[in-house]
Amino acid sequence: MTMKLKLTLAGLLAATTLALSGAANAGALDQFKSFVAGTKAARGDFTQTQLRSKPGAKAPPPSTGTFVFARPGKFIWTYQKPYEQVLQADGDMLYVYDKDLNQVTTRKLGNALGSSPAAILFGSNDLEKNFTLAEAGARDGLEWMTATPKAKDTSFESIGIGMKDGVPQAMELKDSFGQTSVLKFTSFQRNPQLGAQQFKFEVPKGAEVVSQ
């Protein structure tokens, strides 16, 4: 290998390293916008924790489960512990199945995602139509941003999104009652192969169906 070729390869490796380093160190907004633009579907696991709203107050146990989504408006959000519940949307209808009650609640999806936290992951790419996005600095090893709903009738005041390596790692949901819920994502897979019938909801046998 000639000295010139060695220098060329070294230069390419150095440039690649710098590019990867820049992507990893990009601000949360840039990481998030790249994620939205390049992620049509995803799946993974989550843990949801509600922080204590008052000192000494007992927080409910954390919830764990799985999610899978395909933009826009198709998702399956499954709570496995401590209570089993499924929120599922096929792009047209939203279904909420409570296993303990053996009841399915249905409603038209319509603009239901709108300014809700679900819109961040499952909605269309036009997030700035419904949210004001801003950088929120680094914390806990993540780059954070905030999404503040533009609508006045939403129950959420702000949504924090923690990014790392171009993927959402956590979300902090602050509601209008002063409560904060924290979602942490693991085993995040971008653009997995999904079946054509993946999001078709099948009513469990014997379940009561209630329309809203």
Query: Phi/psi zone of residue 22: left (φ > 0), alpha (ψ -120 to 50 degrees), beta?
Result: alpha
So what's the pLDDT on residue 109? 82
**How is the beta sheet containing 208-211 ordered, strand by strand?**
131-139, 142-149, 156-164, 167-175, 180-190, 41-50, 63-70, 74-81, 85-90, 93-98, 103-108, 208-211
Amino acid at the residue 151: A
So what's the pLDDT on residue 56? 65
Q: Which residue has the tokens 């440039």?
A: 15
So what's the pLDDT on residue 105? 94
pTM of the model: 0.79
Tokens standing for residue 5: 């070729």
So what's the pLDDT on residue 116? 63
**Residue ranges in the chain whose pLDDT is less than 50:** 1-24
- ∠ CA 129-141-64, nearest 5°, is 70
Domain residue ranges in the chain? 26-211
The superfamily (CATH) of domain 26-211 is: Lipoprotein localisation LolA/LolB/LppX (2.50.20.10)
So what's the pLDDT on residue 122? 78
**Model confidence pLDDT, tens digit, residues 103-119:** 999 998 876 565 566 77
**Model confidence pLDDT, tens digit, residues 118-143:** 777 777 667 788 889 999 999 999 99
CB contact at 8 A, 86 and 193:
no
What backbone phi and psi angles, to 5 degrees, belong to 113?
-65, -50
